[in-house]
Structure 1
């Protein structure tokens, strides 16, 4: 028995020695000057929103001759010209030797680095090659002069709707009016309760309008409304207004309420002038219709909406982000699998049992989610998906980096907060919490 054990130990030692020698031999064979040589498909790139889905830039490199058959893993890093790459955008590509960026993806990256829309700016590109656990080689820098485009609309206006019928009462902040294609006409999409409203400027009473019968006057009477979802149109030049029942919704046997509704409401997004909803869907069909009625309804295929068109098919049950451009000049849609991210914890209004405070997707930046004006108490919280604990994130280092099943996020001071989730790099998500 002793002899057998001795033989085993000798064999194991020999194997370890052989492995160590192999690794040492690889390091001795490695040519440390064999770094990736980076090429870009164009030295100058001008991005436009019209070409958002087109290929804009390819970064590539031939496999270096490392001196032995190395299995390298590559990562592309992009930073503003002269940056130290500590805040660079990173893109692991595994053993691949190139990556092609769509215009929309590259645009989001450039804006995230701080480049100014419609202005040419310079960025540096490098590729890191990782060999084994400890050897990382860096390429020389390549440069690109790139011009991003403004990826969100600015439809904001100084006008707002205030009153007992609005979500924030007479003290505001007011429900916003947005610009329309007609310069002197503004529109608000609001859910109201029974009560009164007025229209005012800059959340102040210095300039306010009331009235009746579609006519407005300075400091006029309150406008009386009943509960419902409305489109409010306002013309400060002609001093006219209109308040009409209005909603867009998703209906169908794939929805919670079936073909008879009530429809699952879409929400207006002023940064893209589109409508969206984040909702659970079953296998089945859906359509988009106005005011819970079939008088105006849309269906379609391949992302195109057609009045009275075919049902949109949902092949797999799950949570989906539905986005629709319902302008006559747009008429397109996307239905994309998504997580419904929320904030839960004793620092939040609904505690650890939820329902969670829902983040809304930033339709101009894939992977970015926002929660605006949430009231938090002193306590703790976490980020989770779909009001369940299956996928949840905390912040182990209290440094803004999110870790799966990480530590609770502490809230030291009660107040109103704006919170942003950034999942653009799914392997390194981040959270930004700002007290208002």
Structure 2
């Protein structure tokens, strides 16, 4: 009996030893990983919208090594120089060891950072390698590039004019809204009456920065913060109707005379549409009156809240002889020249501007 037990223990020990050997053969030891080495095709890149589809930058890197064959995923991290990647912008690079960005792709990434458009910016880049959330991801050494990006849309809903040449005077809370060009969102226009005097452009109502003032040869001087120098004012020498145009792509402005002598002057214009102006009035039956400038009788404004998505037009107080809508196929644009179709407006509170001289309108959504 004892001999049988001994044999049983010997057999069990041998089986366990064999199983242990088989497990040792299947074990994989994962190292912390060798970081990829990043190479960039250029140290300085100027991005231009006209070349949006062209290749701008190629990144290549050596494979990360974790001690065994595995699918390694790579991620590009970008941040402003000196931020130490505290809140980096990231882009998934997949499992390959190279990536080429077009001008548009790189510009989109860079614009997610706190950059200055149309100016050189020093930007840090690195590549992170990863095989599992449980294993530390090694990163490449940092490459610093100088990138000059562009904006696809300006940072301002519109620009405002303030100064004693305007109806607002120097009260920045009442600054006169300009209208955006639907075909070029970097162009802003104001067509209306101006007085002899001076004015400047503001990026928002109620503040003295951002601001644009006069430079040499009809160029603009930018004031980013109120701590920056105050730029010179732009002068209007004679009273009359003018068209003022600002081009933020080229940093220029122009002022030309406008003939308003044949334009009708309306007593009242308002908004009308698929919303009730009051509790007792049906839709499409009565306008919500807009406010007319006392100095410029063709410039109308109102702030209004739409509880739901609506369709609307601008119309005189009674009758449909004079009404303004959207161009065909552009009913959902908030910045464009009026035509005939209904304007589609999402629910929200808006500061609304309408110019009956040019049939241009503007909706600025309030926060």
Structure with the bigger percentage of strand: 1
Which structure is higher in RCO with an 8 Å CA cutoff and minimum separation 6? Answer: 2
